[in-house]
């Protein structure tokens, strides 16, 4: 697909920004400005990033001066510190990672790189011993000729300490409560076990009994079922539900990173994101995530928005679980008390993503072809 056609298609798909994006830029609904009265798009229409940036400047809300933006971009852009053209997506479970992997496969054909993932397993090994970490790093950096993108459920591995060339780390995060609800119904969907059977054959786990499969999340929490207990500082996690989003960023240190909702894991995860990750996005802010990926890692994510929305029907259905139910606000509020630091980490990642988005606003604010399209509800 030629660039001219991509830009033309993107123009055809221009629609209004969603509330989450206005919030990221300090805007509310009362500030919304539509196009010209004749239905045409004004050059300063706030529905484009150019218009948004110009509007922020006109109202004084854009407090970042050019030098501040440039400095912030330099501090936030870890892509330039990579030593090899390899994307390592150490994907967190239940954050919409399947959609991003499908997108990278599409972009690989457009931007001329290979996208691969690990083979499926019945149980993921998130933390490795030192020998396995070294083996993992060697396999990543020598198995395929760069550029390529690789995806796996694994906690952050420090390639520098292993004296291996540093890849470009990316990841996604999701609201911790919504993640745990999604996981609850994911492992209770019949197709989950059918899929494992197809992939693993006799090694696949058997489908649990009806009591387990039919238990809704609210009942699980209120009855104190072992799968819905979230003890603070717990290391064992008998439920095996990937409740620790911070673990994937904290790294391979069992003592510091395994305790659930701990201050130590939170602080270490924050530092790792700041120093090691090019982009940590979220599908809860689809447009912002795609914009930042395009700007910070163009070799891999050029035309990401176009590819995403041209294939939106497919990408929006990836791994969608029709068996998932809504949880009550009462239960969600109850769980927030147990996920305080996990929530803090999630908010930290979103704030960093917004800062990256603000840092590229000056650059793309002059480009009227830089158009945003609506968020996907993953």
Q: How many other C-beta atoms are found inside a 10 Å radius of the C-beta of residue 289?
A: 27
Per the CB < 8 A criterion, the answer to whether 137 and 160 are in contact is: no
Question: Nearest 5 degrees, angle CA 251-CA 98-CA 158?
Answer: 20
Short-list 168, 213, 182, 375, CA closest to 290: 375
Which residue in 355, 376, 196 sits closest to 286, CA to CA?
376
Is residue 97 packed enough to be buried (19+ CB in 10 Å), middle (13-18) or exposed (0-12)?
buried
DSSP state of 150: E
Using DSSP's 3-state secondary structure scheme, residue 9 falls into: helix
Q: Give the Cβ contact number of residue 13 at 10 Å.
A: 15
Spot the catalytic one: 32, 123, 153, 227: 153
- C-alpha 348/C-alpha 268 separation (Å) is 13
Instruction: State how far the alpha carbon of 331 is from the alpha carbons of 165, 181, 272, 322, in Å.
Output: 45, 10, 31, 21
The rounded distance, in Å, linking the Cα atoms of 258 and 254 is: 5
Residue 235 main-chain phi, psi, to 5 deg = -110, -30
* Structure tokens, 269: 């995860």
Cβ-based neighbours of 218, under 8 Å, separated by 6 or more: 327, 328, 330, 331
Residue 202 is given by DSSP the state G
**CA of 128: how far to CAs of 131, 134, 137, in Å?**
8, 9, 11
Q: Are 268 and 251 in contact (CB under 8 A)?
A: yes
DSSP symbol at 164: -
How far is 302 from 126, CA to CA, in rounded Å?
A: 30
Catalytic (active site) residue 123: no
Residues noted as catalytic: 153
């Amino acid at each position: 697909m030629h660039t001219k056609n991509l830009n033309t298609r993107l123009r055809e798909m221009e629609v209004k920004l969603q509330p989450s994006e206005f919030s990221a830029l300090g805007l509310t609904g009362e500030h919304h400005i539509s196009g010209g009265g004749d239905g045409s798009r004004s050059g300063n229409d706030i529905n484009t990033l150019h218009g948004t940036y110009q509007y922020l400047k006109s109202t004084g809300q854009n407090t970042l001066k050019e030098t501040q933006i440039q400095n912030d971009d330099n501090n936030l852009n870890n892509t330039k510190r990579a030593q090899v053209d390899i994307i390592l997506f150490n994907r967190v479970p239940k954050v919409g990672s399947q959609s991003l992997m499908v997108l990278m496969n599409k972009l690989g054909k457009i931007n001329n790189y290979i996208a691969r993932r690990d083979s499926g397993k019945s149980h993921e090994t998130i933390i490795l011993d030192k020998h396995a970490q070294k083996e993992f790093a060697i396999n990543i950096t020598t198995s395929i000729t760069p550029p390529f993108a690789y995806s796996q459920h694994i906690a952050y591995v420090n390639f520098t300490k292993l004296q291996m060339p540093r890849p470009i780390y990316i990841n996604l995060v999701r609201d911790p409560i919504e993640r745990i609800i999604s996981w609850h119904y994911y492992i209770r969907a019949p197709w989950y076990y059918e899929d494992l059977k197809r992939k693993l054959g006799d090694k696949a786990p058997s489908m649990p009994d009806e009591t387990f499969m039919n238990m809704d999340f609210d009942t699980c929490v209120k009855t104190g079922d072992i799968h819905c207990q979230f003890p603070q500082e717990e290391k064992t996690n008998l439920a095996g539900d990937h409740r620790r989003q911070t673990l994937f960023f904290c790294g391979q240190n069992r003592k510091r990173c395994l305790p659930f909702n701990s201050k130590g894991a939170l602080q270490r995860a924050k530092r790792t994101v700041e120093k090691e990750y090019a982009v940590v996005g979220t599908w809860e802010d689809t447009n912002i995530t795609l914009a930042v990926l395009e700007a910070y890692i163009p070799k891999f994510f050029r035309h990401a928005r176009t590819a995403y929305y041209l294939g939106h029907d497919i990408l929006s259905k990836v791994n969608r679980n029709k068996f998932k139910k809504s949880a009550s606000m009462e239960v969600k509020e109850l769980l927030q008390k147990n996920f305080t630091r996990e929530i803090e980490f999630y908010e930290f990642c979103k704030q960093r993503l917004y800062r990256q988005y603000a840092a590229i606003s000056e650059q793309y604010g002059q480009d009227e072809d830089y158009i945003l399209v609506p968020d996907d509800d993953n």
